[in-house]
Chains A and B, each alone.
Chain A
Amino acid sequence: MGSSRRDFMRAGGLLLTGVGFAPTRQALASSLSEGVERLTGAIEIIQMRSDALGSRVWFDPIGLFVKAGTTIRWTVRENVHTTTAYHPRNDHRPLRIPTTAVPWDSGVLVNPGSVFEVTLTVAGVYDYCCAPHEAAGMVGRIVVGKALGPGAEPFDYWVGAAGTADWRHVPADARAAFPSVQSIIARRRVHVAA
């Protein structure tokens, strides 16, 4: 939890001096959110969805184009979810966010209405997933400004590279679910087909 909070704050790229440390992640998110709104005013909402049976799960939108400095607010609509950046620090997932960006992991957001926020300040492609639903293909992609970085590379770009021995591959259903970077740049918002 402490690590997540650190990640969260660093991902925001904000100086948090004076911001109270609330006891819950959600409250922390709210505190940070207020600071972000004051500084940039740009917030994009991604809903974390599920059907009633838990058979179908998805981020909405699944693909999003934003400017650097935009705050992304994930909101749970149904079921339980995480938003977890593709980064080796998150359970040995491969690096699929800009190399200088700080990864995030919300932990499990248990209740509908729970929120988690990250401010993306480094240009590039950010791939993320819902940890318990990754194998079922619940992933999302955000393009910040330009198609740069590891997230713009093929899924297995890292195979054979030094220091990647314990990285694990993106599951097949997750690979199939990602919208292309080009489609996100062209459409700005990509939604999962109904």
Chain B
Amino acid sequence: MFSMRTKRFIFLILIIVILACRPFTAQAVLSITAPTSATLTGKTVSIAAQTSTGVIGDSNNANLVGVKVSDDGTAGWTAVMTSTHFTTRSNKTKKLAGSNATVDFTGTYDGLDGVLDPNGIFKVEITTGGAVGTAVFKWWDPAGNLTSTVTTAASVVLSNGITVNFAAATYVVGDSWSAGVDVFPYTGLTVTPSDIYAESGSLTGVSKGSSEALSGTGATSDAKTIMTATAGNGIGIYWQDEDLSLSIHANSLSGSFTATVTLTVS
């Protein structure tokens, strides 16, 4: 296919290319790690708004705990975080009418209906009786939006991350169940990046983000900068703790509220 001369030429070019570039194992490595979980201080349900605090990392801002960014390149980098809303779904389905305790709600509520007073519910009501697959139901989302004429099934996706499950039973018209949901929106979550600790490398050109509440309108917040390294800086290993302050609305549901923070460096 190729002449020997051509082969030698290609081989030569490739050798030049390889030598011109850094060896593969020595390329710039930019990475981020973070604690797998963080718990905010628990509160008791109150008729007044409260504030809960926590930290991704710890209160010592000069140790090897927290969010870690490692880089051996010179391009600089930016570390940001996003968060979902803190949400809960009551793990106790309420039977509002009827005798069957065979309906359950599953899934993680996305919190997009916001803070509701009284707290939001997903509600299901049988409109045509029968077995699963025959019975028909209507349902309401936390905002009160009604969806009618849905056929039962072992699992039916409702909205906002929630699914309703119908176990085998004979369902009767008027049977009804609900599950409460609640949210502490991320717009009430103020993130305060701590001072940065350099395990190795210089802090020159490496700066922390400002203290601010997360913003956004989606299920996941807009990205918030926690630390940046300008071009030519940030070569090393850097640690930072993220202090969290969350607004807790009055008269919330009791239970465990969860959110997921995603930390990204690029």
A interacts with B: no
